Amino acid sequence: MHALVERLYPLCRSITGDGVRSTLDIVGESIPLEVTEVPTGTDVLDWTIPREWNIRDAYIKDATGRRVVDFAESNLHVVGYSVPVSATMSLAELRPHLHTLPDQPDLIPYRTSYYSETWGFCLAENTLKELPEGQYEVRIDSTLAPGHLTYGEHVIPGQVADEVLISCHVCHPSLANDNLAGIAVATALAQRIENPYYTYRFLIAPGTIGAITWLALNRERVDRVKHGIVLACAGDRGSLTYKRSRRGDAEIDRVFRHVLAGRDHTIVDFTPYGYDERQYCSPGFNLGVGSLTRTPYAGYPEYHTSADNPDFVSPEAMADTLETLWDAVGILERNRKYHNTSPYGEPQLGRRGLYGSLGGRSDTQQIQMAMLWVLNLSDGSHSLLDIAERSTLPFTVVADAAKALHGAGLVKE
């Protein structure tokens, strides 16, 4: 996962353009992707696909010809979607187009201007302070022209058409935690899933406009999405944070509450700000989609700065995020409702060999109690997750108990 972050890091991504395509090409080496290109001018819900932006080079040269700001050194140096510029101007004329972080004087900020035609450069405050008065050559070799918005999907067919959506944004340039770590973890998760019950859809799309575009193009079938997670900031060293769906009590919310119970974590309520959960949870769709991050957006000093580099991303943190998602998938895959086929009184478990068949487990006492809970609450209205929560037993123990009871004919789906 960390190697994938390092490989993707130098690419200049935006909400459109060749950087997105190159990123999807590289991810496609690990998991097959169906890539969709949506033309400029296409209406998508209340939005319109913008013109496509690409950039080849950009710099500010001083009077000696030295590049004091160089896009080749960091693609954060250029404000995203900057229009082409070729001019010579004084430092005073240039200053309104320069963006710094006075409180973090050694870092380059990340700035964009998607929907207004302007241009600018980002640089360290300390670099700006060292620039002498005089004339500067300013060059941004970019194009803003009719093209496409691009997104990629990886679908793992399941036994049913109902879907689990894993969504990542792909619109940021060289920011390792804020989009690349999420893409790397999602890719690793996709590689693990085999022969699932649900259909799993992994969506890698530009933030906001990409999710809106996908929703617009899939409006007739979006109700297949039964569970979903927006994955971002998946590699920093902070503890895990889960943001509930707009519903607040969707199955995915309860799954993560259960999974995170044994981990250092924070659970927060839904707000209509953040990543693309706000699109999936808009009132017209109101999907059961939550958000999983480590430290939330804007919650760490490196956020949207040049300090969000591959060294900031921890392989151990990404592994922890992946295992958390894997545990959640395990619950989604096994969470069922059952009917007790012998609901009058407690059936005799011993003569059916149920106790003996599960002997040798370190949690034998737990699983015996789990059988009693499953039998008692398998009335067709309680899921295994309901039973795990009410009994305060681990979901895996409850699911194993249900499997044993099902094998003995004492419960049926």
Q: What are the tens digits of pLDDT across the range 45-58?
A: 999 999 999 999 99
pLDDT band for 276, please (50, 70, 90 cuts).
Answer: very high
Q: What's the average model confidence in pLDDT over 87-104? A: 98
- pLDDT given at position 262: 83
Beta partners for residue 58, in sequence order: 140
- Give the β-pairing of 148-156 and 199-205: antiparallel
**E strand or H helix at 70, and its extent?**
strand 67-70
Tokens of 399: 């699911």
SS3 state of residue 125:
helix
Model confidence band, residue 189 (pLDDT cutoffs 50, 70, 90) = very high
Cα first-last separation, the chain: 38
Give residue 350's pLDDT. Answer: 84
More confident residue, 354 or 28: 28
pLDDT average, residue stretch 246-272? 96
For range 156-163, the mean pLDDT: 98
Sequence ranges of the binding site = 172, 178, 304
Residue 357 confidence class, pLDDT cut points 50, 70, 90: low
Residue 289 token pair: 């989609």
* Whole-number percent of the chain with pLDDT over 90: 94
d(CA 411, CA 413): 7
Is the pLDDT at 103 greater than 80? The verdict is yes
Distances (CA, A) of 225 to 191, 252, 255, 280, 321: 20, 11, 16, 10, 22
> Identity (one letter) of the amino acid at 340?
N
Q: What is the mean pLDDT of residues 209-235?
A: 98
d(CA 1, CA 40): 33
Neighbouring residues of 192: CB distance < 8 A, sequence distance ≥ 6 = 326
Task: Provide the pLDDT for residue 351.
Answer: 87
Q: Average pLDDT of 77-93?
A: 98
85, 135, 170, 248, 378 from 82: Cα distances, Å: 8, 21, 19, 39, 60
Segment 194-206 mean pLDDT = 98
- pLDDT for residue 363: 65
Q: What are the structural domains, with CATH classification, of the chain?
A: 2-50+148-333 (3.40.630.10), 52-145 (3.50.30.90), 337-412 (1.10.10.10)
Mean pLDDT of 329-336: 98
- Collapse the DSSP code of 192 into the 3-class scheme (helix H, G, I; strand E, B; otherwise coil) and give the result: helix
State how far the Cα of 60 lies from the Cα of 53, in Å rounded to an integer. 20
Mean of pLDDT values over 401-405: 96
Where is the binding site for Zn(2+), in residues?
172, 178, 304
d(CA 5, CA 30): 13
CA distance 322 to 325: 5
Mean pLDDT of 259-283: 96
pLDDT of 354 above 90: no
CA–CA dist 235, 248 (Å, integer): 25
| Lowest mean per-residue pLDDT among 95-109, 266-280, 301-315, 338-352 | 338-352
Q: Which of 315, 313, 267 is nearest to 291 (CA)?
A: 267
Q: Which contacts of 57-60 are long-range, i.e. CB under 8 A and separated by 24 or more positions?
A: 57/139, 57/141, 58/82, 58/121, 58/139, 58/140, 58/141, 58/142, 59/137, 59/138, 59/139, 60/94, 60/121, 60/136, 60/137, 60/138, 60/139
Whole-number pLDDT of residue 356? 59
* In contact, 365 and 394? CB cutoff 8 Å: no
Strands 240-243, 289-293: pairing kind? antiparallel
**The predicted structure's pLDDT at residue 330:** 98
d(CA 50, CA 32): 27
Phi and psi at residue 312, in whole multiples of 5°?
A: -75, -25
3-state SS assignment for residue 199: strand
Q: What is the pLDDT of residue 3?
A: 98
Q: Give me the pLDDT at residue 111, please.
A: 98
Question: What is the tens place of the pLDDT at every residue in 369-391?
Answer: 999 999 999 999 999 999 999 99
pLDDT level of residue 365 (50, 70, 90 thresholds): confident
Query: Burial letters for 259-279: b for 16+ Cβ neighbours within 10 Å, e otherwise?
Result: bbeeeebeeeebeeebbbbbb
Instruction: Look up the pTM and report it.
Output: 0.95
Residue 361: pLDDT over 80: no
Alpha helix ranges (H) inside 283-344: 315-334
